[in-house]
A and B are shown apart, each in its own frame.
Chain A
Amino acid sequence: MAHGTYSYQPKNAFTKWLDSRLPILRLMDETMLQFPTPKNLNYWYTFGGILTFMLVLQILTGVVLAMHYVPHETMAFDSVERIMRDVNYGWLMRYLHSNGASMFFIAVYLHIFRGLYYGSYKAPREVLWLLGIVIYLLMMATGFLGYTLPWGQMSFWGATVITNFFSAIPFVGEAVTQWLWGSFAVDNSTLQRFFSLHYLLPFVIAGVVVLHIWALHVPGNNNPLGIDVKGAADTVAFHPYYTTKDLFALVVFVMVMCYFVFFNPNFLGHADNYIPANRLVTPPHIVPEWYYLPLYAVLRSVPDKLIGVLLMFGAILVWAFLPWLDRSNVRSYKFRPVSRQLFFILLIVTWILGMLGAQSVDGDFEFYFGLVLPISKLFLSQICTIYYFLHFLVITPLVSMNEKALPVPESIATAVLARNSHAPKARSAG
């Protein structure tokens, strides 16, 4: 961001010497300490920092697990059990890693929906948004590959179902799947390459994260008002204001993670994955990890394999067009009353798709509390899938062109001051 002037001054002889050779301390000072940040960021903006922490934690625990894990079909399952029972703190490393993956996805979904709600995908942050989609896709791939490694029943059959997506490609589908497997079915060769790639991809993610942060630092942060920073009065330095805020949010987030890790470590997993992989028995009900469930429901909503697979990938790729499908010149949905309601409808539709993805194919929709609604799951998943795509491809362009936005504040500073003058009690003590 062009506002505010950086004033990094090397303080001693060594930093002066280093600064004229590799200005790395200057870079860190400018991007992590002095970086001028809108002063109105709320807690929804802390997930970027949380995600960075989760990536580091996953790499750390993953590197440790790889010291004990054996990527071979006859030994993988037992080596995971050995990690759980015999390796010192192995249980902790594995539960941190497996629950860490789920927490990583919780954070990324909140981060994505925050970006949607405050219009963070809109100009000039399109490249930032696109890089985010790349990171999300890489995370999906990494999560899938990692889930295969324990070589339980869900690992094996999940791998079978997902790799079979590629068999939907016309003409070369079978050749492509055999190339992915290195065999005629999911096999030891598949497990070994999945392990290799599972180790590689987090570092690729780290690389794209650097680009993502770089693309963030050119236009600077968006903010809940969605308006541009107009001067120094609108910003505060990243440190200590947002380092403290991010740290507090991180502590709360890690406490939630610790609940799962220490008190309910298998809540987000599936019991069938404690049965060693058996290529002759398909579990009665294959469910992916929870973070893929809405996409899984989209896949199953279509009685045609190729179209189902294309729609499933399309459900994510459609996000890439959002910066250009949204024609409004107001960013934040705070000031876009219709878009705001549509956002919450989209959330509900996605949630229902997630519920459908967790249920078996046939029968009526099972709502919560054992309540079965008199609507067929297939029909409901088709309605939700159609609505999901309509939301992005039709409703968003039409609404954004015609919607009358509420008046947008003049600047961040005036909005912040106006809000505080409405609530004098909260500030009177200070």
Chain B
Amino acid sequence: MAHSADTAHVTRRDFLLVASSTAAAVGGALALWPFIDQMNPAADTLALKEVEFDLAPIVAGQIVTIEWQKKPVFIRRRTPEEVASAEGAALADMKDPQADKDRVQKAEWLILVATCTHLGCIPSNLFKGEFGGWLCPCHGSHYDTSGRIRKGPAPKNLEVPPYQFLSDTKVLIGAAPKPTAPAEHG
């Protein structure tokens, strides 16, 4: 544009050029947004928010896998030994330290999103790994009986989804946990 010698004489034309090209650039950038945002989860996908599950048939030591938001979810009825091992583990040894009591609402029931935090495989229910929890078959991450990462490439513990117990044997996954005192439901 203008030469350094000319900068003293900024003309009306210079102003119009800068203003109109700025408006065009910002407008162009804004027009891109719908093309980007259309790829985000659509309203019907977002609507798959909650799923109710009956816990009664699950026996101690059993793990079931259910689907929530198209993701697999583990519901594990832990044995007293598994609870003890989860509660007794030293946090100092962990990559993502978190106490077991912060990961469960009732010590017996461990509810986790069943996607490995490494690259999204489902950790194996059959091969429980070195810490008695889960072993991910894809890249060898070992989780303990609280779903915490203890060995391997995964960076984080298995995620705990939001859930609330509707009764002793019914759980609603996807709903925010209820406060300890029963609140009124609108």
Contact = CB atoms under 8 A, between A and B. Distances in A.
B33 to A, nearest CB: 12
Size bracket of the A interface: 35 or more
Interface in A145-191: 157, 160-161, 163-165, 167, 178-185, 187, 189
B67 A362 contact: no
Nearest to B37: A179
Interface stretch (A250-258, A281-289, A393-401): A281-289
Contact of B153 (A163, A185, A285, A305): A305
A182 to B, nearest CB: 6
A193 interface: yes
B40 interface: yes
B110 interface: no
Interface residues of B, number: 28
Contacts of B70: 183-185, 187, 279
A303 B153 contact: yes
A182 B154 contact: no
A313 to B, nearest CB: 14
Q: Which of B36, B42, B118, B152 has the most CB of A within 10 A?
A: B118
A161 B138 contact: yes
A306 B117 CA distance: 12
A308 B69 CA distance: 28
A179 B40 contact: yes
B99 to A, nearest CB: 24
A280 interface: yes
Interface string A274-306: 000001111111100000000000001011111
A286 B120 CA distance: 12
B71 to A, nearest CB: 5
A32 interface: no
B45 A184 contact: yes
Q: Which of A181, A280, A308, A360 has the most CB of B within 10 A?
A: A280
A189 B120 contact: no
Contact of A182 (B45, B139, B140): B45
A300 B139 contact: yes
A346 interface: no
Contacts of A282: 121-122, 124, 137-138
Looking at chain B's contact residues, is the secondary structure mostly helix, strand, loop, or mixed?
A: loop
A335 to B, nearest CB: 43
Contacts of A131: none
A312 to B, nearest CB: 11
A167 B72 contact: no
A59 interface: no
Contacts of A164: 118-120
A185 B71 contact: yes
B30 interface: no
A134 interface: no
Contact of A161 (B36, B72, B120, B140): B120
A182 B41 contact: yes
B155 interface: yes
Contact of B45 (A183, A284, A303, A360): A183
Given A282-B137, A284-B137, A303-B152, A161 B121 contact: yes
B155 A182 contact: no
Q: Which of B39, B41, B117, B138 has the most CB of A within 10 A?
A: B138
Given A157-B138, A193-B39, A280-B122, 14 more contacts: A160-B120, A165-B119, A179-B40, A184-B69, A189-B41, A279-B67, A280-B65, A280-B67, A282-B121, A282-B124, A284-B124, A286-B137, A305-B118, A308-B153
Interface of B: 36, 39-42, 45, 65, 67, 69-72, 115, 117-122, 124, 137-140, 152-155
29 contacts: A157-B138, A160-B120, A160-B121, A161-B119, A161-B120, A161-B138, A167-B119, A167-B120, A178-B41, A182-B40, A182-B42, A183-B70, A184-B45, A184-B70, A185-B120, A193-B39, A280-B65, A280-B72, A282-B122, A282-B138, A284-B124, A285-B137, A286-B121, A300-B153, A303-B152, A303-B153, A305-B154, A308-B153, A361-B140
Interface of A: 157, 160-161, 163-165, 167, 178-185, 187, 189, 193, 279-286, 300, 302-306, 308, 360-362
